[in-house]
Structure 1
Amino acid sequence: MVLTKTADDISSMRVRGAGRIARTAALALQEYGASLECKTLAAFVDEMQNAAEILCKTRPTAVSLPNAVRYVMQGVRGAGTLEEAQQALNDRATTFIHDSQEAVQKIADIAARQFPDDAVIMTHCNSQVAIACIVRAHEQGRVREVYATEVRPRNQGYITIQMLSDAGVPVNFIVDSAARSFMPKVDLVITGTDAVTANGAVVNKIGTSQIALCAHEARKPFIVAAETYKFAPRTILGERIPIEERPAEEVTGSGRQLPPGVTVKNPAFDVTPPAYVDLIITEIGAFAPSYAPVVIRDHLGWDISEFQKEYAFTHQYGE
């Protein structure tokens, strides 16, 4: 089944990156809905809600995933007939995928204006949108070179350096712990994010907060590139974003025995305080972290009453 394979691909990180995860989930819902042979609206809604639940459980930290599912499922839940639900599912999934891809290019255009001439950039993890920003600025002749981290333990940095190299960007590949040593050579740091909370804090790949702290100490701008669907509406109600704990084997390697009494802690993400974030760049503009509630309210269209309704609904999914 396509849905089961997609869920497994997301959970196992064969599909990675918040934007890719969101688009993959939207497409999986679209394809799953097209495969159903339901006779009634109620049966179709039940099947789609079960599918949404399966997808939402795969990566608990990436807010883009439940936001994408919410967007697609709104059409299903609001339909009056089976045919309306099927059409809404198809239309909303197509729209989300298109708008998500278009958002990356809009962010790249805005971000490139923030890069000084002959800039030296540092980036962490593998973010499609952050890489698009660097490449766009490089195309405009503004980027001299990039420092890209290894990103232990899953080594997503290897994907980043390949993508930058393919785009003709000169890259220096460094281990994560060398970020502070090279920070004085850098003009700015840019990363993506998996979630932005209501107070402007950024949830991203483990190690991001340390790099942001180093940038803050060195007085280097720390910029986050984030599509608006990565903002986390329910954090306004005090709900915390869970930090995913990955398997120990990612750190130790398969089959390696640890000494008695030793356990492995392998959080996939950390939280960067808004005080260390200079700018968040979205497809609707660039602003300070304190502007996050405005994005949630005015652009994503959430109000307090809908927060409360959605809180009850999404808890059907076990988030």
Structure 2
Amino acid sequence: MAVASSSSDAAVFDVNEAFQRILSDEHISTPLAAILALSELIERSDAETMFELVNALNAGAKALRQKNVNPISLNAGCELFIAFVTLFPHNTSSIPELKRELIRQSRQYAEEALTYRDKIANLALGFIKDDSVILTHSYSRVVMKTLLMAHKRKRISVFVTEARPRGLGIKTAEVLRANGIPVTIVLDSAVSYVMEKVDFVLVGSEAVVESGGLVNAVGSNQIAIIAKAANKPFYALAESYKFHRLFPLSQYDLPTSKPHVLSFLPAPQSAPPTHAEGEEATKASRASKPTYEPITQEQISQSNPDVDYTRPDLISLVFSDVGSLTPEGVSQYLVGMFAG
């Protein structure tokens, strides 16, 4: 969906194309890609008032949400950027000058944000002791940064979940093993089995929400529940641009592009026999076993969620570029962040 504008440049500008192009850089996370795509929208927009500019940004954010499978972390970036534009002091009478300043500052912010993973890794490093055995889930760039930094200074071993349906835990294990870190892949169904061997759990995040809870790759919630039962710390790593004004009360409050999550598969339907065929069909059905269509991994993946919600009472600490926060601290930070 292109974001329309009366100028020829803005008319052909596709915010989704810009978003995907920026996201192709493996160092750029989804919220940052959204921020940079919206800053390009400003550059191409012919808005002549602040009202028109904010409307264009809201339309761009809507277009991004409609085209992306998991809109949660994308929403976090969009909300942060639109709040920044809305609260930006409008001292200048020149809209073009204001646009240039907004673009400059958004790009400067994105450049600074690329250093956040190093800050978080250094902060979390203080909680990692020699000979630590760590359980992580799926694949997270900030978790990888932390584990690789820890490996240079301390002895660590890592259990990583397979993380179905995407299986990104295998990618994590391959990178860790290539860097000389002892690693074992754990079945998602074996988390409670391995928890006794673990010192703590370390996971990344799609978003940290207003309650102080965590949205992350599906399976994170059950890992947190098991860790709590085993009295093992559960740490989350999250850049501050992933803090999101969302307040889910259950798993089903999370926005998703999958309208039929965990819906029941319909039974195979066969055409009813004609009157003439009825007697013969009845005899045949008694003599034969019922047939079933095979259930594919693709069907399982499509009918299952990509992310889940972990309650704040299950989280020990959130390590962020703004410090190590309790879940309550995240709530307070979010209030201040969007209050200007």
Q: TM over 0.5, yes or no?
A: yes
User: What is the aligned counterpart of 1:40 among 48, 71, 92?
Assistant: 48
Q: Deviations over 1:126-165 (max 9, x none)?
A: 111122221221121141x111111111112233223323
Relative distance call for 1:105 and 1:217 in structure 2 (3 A) is same
Relative distance call for 1:64 and 1:287 in structure 2 (3 A) is same
- Give the drift of 1:66: 2.6
Cα distance in structure 2, aligned partners of 1:110 and 1:297: 23
SS of residue matched to 1:270:
strand
Q: Give the aligned partner of residue 131 of structure 1.
A: 144
Identity score, percent: 27
Q: Give the aligned partner of residue 281 of structure 2.
A: none
Relative distance call for 1:16 and 1:202 in structure 2 (3 A) is farther
Equivalences for residues 285-300 of structure 1 within 5 A: 285-298=323-336, 300=337
SS of residue matched to 2:114:
helix
Q: Give the aligned partner of residue 88 of structure 1.
A: 101
Residue pair 1:243, 1:270 contacting (<8 A) in 2 also: no
Cα distance in structure 2, aligned partners of 1:39 and 1:225: 38
Cα distance in structure 1, aligned partners of 2:175 and 2:193: 24
Cα distance in structure 2, aligned partners of 1:218 and 1:49: 45
Equivalences for residues 134-283 of structure 1 within 5 A: 134-143=147-156, 145-235=157-247, 242-244=254-256, 246=258, 265-283=303-321
Relative distance call for 1:164 and 1:97 in structure 2 (3 A) is farther
Whether 2:38 is the aligned partner of 1:25: answer no
Relative distance call for 1:89 and 1:103 in structure 2 (3 A) is same
Cα distance in structure 2, aligned partners of 1:202 and 1:274: 7
- 2:321 partner letter: E
- Give the drift of 1:16: 9.2
* Uncovered stretches (5+) of structure 1, i.e. residues with no partner: 250-255, 307-319
Residue pair 1:72, 1:89 contacting (<8 A) in 2 also: no
- 1:183 partner letter: M
Relative distance call for 1:197 and 1:29 in structure 2 (3 A) is closer
Relative distance call for 1:4 and 1:236 in structure 2 (3 A) is closer
Cα distance in structure 2, aligned partners of 1:136 and 1:62: 30
Q: Deviations over 1:41-100 (max 9, x none)?
A: 466555443222212444586544233223433465555533134213312321331232
- 1:97 partner letter: A
Q: Deviations over 1:107-139 (max 9, x none)?
A: 100101111211111100211112222122112
Q: Give the aligned partner of residue 287 of structure 2.
A: none
Residue pair 2:77, 2:242 contacting (<8 A) in 1 also: no
- What's the Cα RMSD here? 3.6
Cα distance in structure 2, aligned partners of 1:30 and 1:247: 31
Cα distance in structure 2, aligned partners of 1:119 and 1:62: 35
Cα distance in structure 1, aligned partners of 2:256 and 2:219: 14
| Runs of 4+ residues over 4 Å off in structure 1 | 6-10, 13-17, 41-46, 58-63, 74-80, 245-249, 256-259
From the CA coordinates, give the structure whose radius of gyration is larger. Answer: 2
Whether 2:127 is the aligned partner of 1:118: answer no
